Structure 1
Amino acid sequence: MLEGYRSRGDCVLAHAGYIDLTGRVWACVVQGAGWAEVCVVRHGASGGCEVVSWRMDAGDVDAGGH
């Protein structure tokens, strides 16, 4: 997943690390020009990994803070 972002060349890894106490859920924030993605990786029910991501563009943010 991170290699895919690196190969794009238009974004940076802003934050990354485990977000639970047992070390089973890892997340990162990747930022580009006018956008950011939050990616969460956790153990899947079948023993593999499950990856979920959310993308936010600059237009998604309410400039008024409401």
Structure 2
Amino acid sequence: MYTMNMRLLAAIDEDGLPLIRHGPERQEPQSLQKYSFFVAKIAMVVCAILLVAVGLVVSWLIKYTGTLS
């Protein structure tokens, strides 16, 4: 019972207003979450391209140094 009361109290700020936002105020964090997810996807694609490029350079160096000896 004590934890249930604490949960109810935690959802109300000092002025007695609910901390859980509704309406357009709540949509702002959701759009920010979508934006950060989009940025993370782009970052993963860029990292994948860079890793492939590094792998190609390393394989070319191995092939080139093998022909020198």
Q: TM-score range by the shorter chain?
A: under 0.3
Question: Which structure's CA Rg is the greater one?
Answer: 2
Greater fraction helix: 2
- Bigger RCO of structures 1 and 2 (CA < 8 A, at least 6 apart): 1
How high is the TM-score relative to the length of structure 2? 0.26
